[in-house]
């Protein structure tokens, strides 16, 4: 299956339409993910950056209300991390053109809170096999737990 077929699969399934019709419909999304030149390639031949974006495009194809993301910036360089932070911020705020003003609820697992601290609304962590609510982004600065402070280094560790 090519990148184009992969991204269009949910739309083809839900709308019972041909691949070209689905790809025409998805063209604005594909452009926003900068995937146009990769549509004929198989996902296995993509680098991590483009593979991750392909997965995001496929997930967004049906304009979902919520997305569950598992460490979306793991292994990505700072420039690509910035793209993800900006793009997910647009999705969460309803500013992404594909979503036509509809915000997407994001639930994200990550091993580094720092890229998300300005975008996130609520934070929690698993520490010692327990769920610990950290609260809002303003409350992150008040964190006293040593392990959690390490996640927030260097911004809050010395407070």
pTM for the predicted model, two decimal places: 0.85
pLDDT (tens digit, 9 = 90+) per residue, 42-88?
988 999 999 999 999 999 999 999 999 999 999 899 999 999 999 99
The H or E element spanning position 6 is helix 3-15
Q: Can you tell me which residue has the tokens 């004929």?
A: 40
Going through the chain in order, the beta strands assigned E by DSSP cover: 66-70, 105-109, 122-127, 130-136
104, 91 in Cβ contact below 8 A? yes
Tell me the pLDDT band of 155, cut-offs 50, 70 and 90: low
Q: Cα separations (Å) of 120 from 5, 25, 46, 149, 152?
A: 32, 30, 29, 17, 14
Neighbour tally for 39: CB within 10 Å? 17
CB atoms within 10 A of CB 25: 16
- The structural domains of the chain, with segments of one domain joined by +, span 1-62, 64-110, 121-159
Weakest-pLDDT range from 21-25, 101-105, 118-122:
118-122
pLDDT of residue 133: 82
pLDDT at residue 7 is higher than 60: yes
């Amino acid at each position: 299956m090519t990148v184009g077929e992969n991204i269009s699969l949910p739309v083809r399934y839900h709308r019972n339409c041909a691949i070209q019709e689905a790809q025409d419909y998805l063209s604005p999304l594909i452009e926003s993910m900068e995937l146009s030149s990769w549509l004929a390639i198989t996902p296995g031949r993509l680098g991590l950056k483009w593979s991750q974006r392909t997965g995001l495009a496929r997930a967004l194809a049906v304009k979902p209300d919520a997305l569950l993301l598992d460490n979306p910036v793991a292994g990505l360089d700072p420039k690509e991390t910035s793209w993800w932070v900006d793009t997910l911020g647009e999705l969460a705020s309803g500013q992404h053109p594909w979503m036509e003003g509809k915000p997407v609820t994001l639930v994200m697992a990550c091993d580094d809170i720092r890229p998300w601290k300005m975008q996130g609304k609520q934070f929690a962590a698993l520490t010692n096999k327990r769920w610990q609510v950290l609260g809002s982004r303003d409350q992150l600065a008040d964190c006293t737990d040593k392990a959690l402070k390490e996640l927030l280094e260097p911004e809050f560790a010395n407070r």
